[in-house]
Amino acid sequence: MAKLIVYNSVSLDGYFAGPDGDLSWGHSPDAEWQKFVEENAKGGGRLLFGRITYELMASYWPTPAAIKAYPIVAERMNSLPKIVFSRTLNKADWNNTTLVKGDLAAEVRKLKRDSGLDMVVMGSGSIVSQLAPEGFIDEYQLVVCPVILGKGRTMFEGLKEKLPLKLARTRPFRNGNILLCYQPS
């Protein structure tokens, strides 16, 4: 069965997006961090997005600026298969993207069972908050960034019950980021 991983940067106070969707705080240039990001990008599988994150990613990764600044990551982001879940989009033009308008939980259940390809949700708080209580997420990979935003969006808005997790591994970085990996208890 395919695994579903959530990979997101979060502020010290738990926001994955700042006010007005600001994500600029999540980028701390550092050679060690850049190497880690590039190594992670080399993995396979599928990327799952909600509409907002999809539009953000699709507007950046295919650009010459992204390809120049982050060639390895851009190549992977542009070539990996992507699924965007949206009821409002009419088309998804980014290379290798499938638009799914159906029931999120049913589609992800099918993908986990039938595809064989592991999946990663990046950003897409609405997707995370819907899939977490269903028990579909196999691992949460959270990069805690050394910044306090004071307000923003959490990945778990609207969650009705607590979800107990166990720590699987950690990794600190010289730039102050800390990777925390949790799995359901």
- Segment 123-136, tens digit of pLDDT: 899 999 999 999 99
Q: What is the DSSP letter of 185?
A: -
- What fold, for 4-172? Dihydrofolate Reductase, subunit A (3.40.430)
Of the candidates 105, 119, 108, 96, the one whose C-alpha atom is nearest the C-alpha of residue 43 is 119
Residues 122, 82, 80, 39, Cα dihedral to 10° = 10
- How far, in Å, are 48, 58, 143 from residue 7 at the CA level? 11, 18, 8
- Residue 136 to residue 155: CA distance in whole angstroms: 15
- Residue 38 to residue 159: CA distance in whole angstroms: 32
Taking all residues of the chain, what is their mean pLDDT, rounded to a whole number? 93
Element containing residue 169 per DSSP (H, E): strand 165-172
Q: What is the pLDDT of residues 7-41, one digit of tens each?
A: 999 999 999 999 888 888 887 778 898 899 888 88
Angle at 15 between CA 14 and CA 18, to 5 degrees: 150
Residue 43 pLDDT > 80: no
Of the candidates 33, 20, 3, the one whose C-alpha atom is nearest the C-alpha of residue 144 is 33
Report the amino acid identity of residue 95: N
